[in-house]
């Protein structure tokens, strides 16, 4: 209760980086204020949802005036810890893992993959996208407490055993791109990203809700 802002619902929290990126661009172009309609057009979230999202942190906006871009930016910078870089470790330097390393969240200033692990001797000892690749046997030696997040792009059969080792090393969050459903203690946060299911879901909504583009945004 001593915090200066109330707890934000998870659905809203997931939209914050989207708003933040657009607001940074607005700020860079010198714009001082923005309406919920303008934001809606840019980020494809309906204006009522945007107004509700913003109301959680006291940005109520004014009719005919909109929202103060500087106020919103300062809020997002605090909330998303823009000034504090979160270091990430990646496991599995296959096609998807390599793509992540080369991209390395270049549009995000607050997350950075700093090390990667694999078992392929041809990859171990190399760098991909400037990130060093270590052997998985070195996990306990290399992974330190300042790296709270792991990305898993390993074969599904290897995912649980690897997760157990990560938990033992103090990892706090896992972005899981494997089909495996991971068992972790309650204090560990896991986000499962199954690209095949996401694609199947998209095709389903295209077929069954062909004119419902706004609603489709809320199904993720």
Binding site for NAD(+), by residue number, is: 92-97
Tell how strand 149-152 and strand 173-176 pair up: parallel
Q: What is the Cα–Cα distance from 115 to 127, expressed in whole angstroms? A: 9
**Helix (H/G/I), strand (E/B), else coil: 185:** coil
Residue 35 and residue 64: Cα distance in Å, rounded?
8
* Distance in angstroms (rounded) separating the CA atoms of residues 77 and 180: 34
Q: Which residues are annotated as a binding site?
A: 92-97
Helices marked H in the chain: 10-28, 36-43, 47-55, 69-79, 95-103, 139-142, 156-168, 195-208, 213-216
**173 token code pair:** 């969050």
CA 164, chain centre distance (Å): 22
């Amino acid at each position: 209760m001593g915090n200066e802002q109330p707890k934000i619902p998870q659905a809203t929290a997931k939209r914050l980086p989207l708003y933040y990126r657009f607001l940074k661009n607005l700020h860079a172009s010198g714009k001082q204020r923005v309406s919920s309609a303008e934001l809606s057009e840019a980020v494809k979230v309906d204006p009522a949802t945007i107004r509700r999202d913003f109301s959680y942190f006291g940005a109520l906006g004014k009719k005919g005036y909109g929202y103060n871009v500087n106020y919103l930016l300062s809020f997002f910078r605090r909330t998303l810890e823009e000034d504090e870089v979160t270091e990430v470790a990646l496991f599995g330097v296959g096609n998807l893992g390599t793509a992540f390393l080369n991209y390395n969240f270049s549009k995000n200033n607050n997350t950075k993959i700093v090390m990667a692990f694999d078992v392929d001797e041809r990859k171990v000892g190399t760098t991909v996208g400037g990130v060093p690749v270590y052997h998985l046997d070195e996990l306990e030696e290399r992974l330190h407490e300042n790296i709270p997040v792991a990305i898993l792009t390993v074969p599904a059969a290897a995912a649980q055993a690897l997760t157990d080792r990560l938990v033992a090393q103090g990892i706090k969050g896992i972005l899981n791109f494997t089909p495996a459903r991971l068992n972790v203690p309650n204090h560990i946060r896991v986000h499962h990203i199954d690209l095949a299911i996401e694609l199947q879901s998209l095709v389903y909504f295209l077929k069954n809700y062909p004119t419902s583009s706004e609603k489709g945004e809320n199904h993720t």
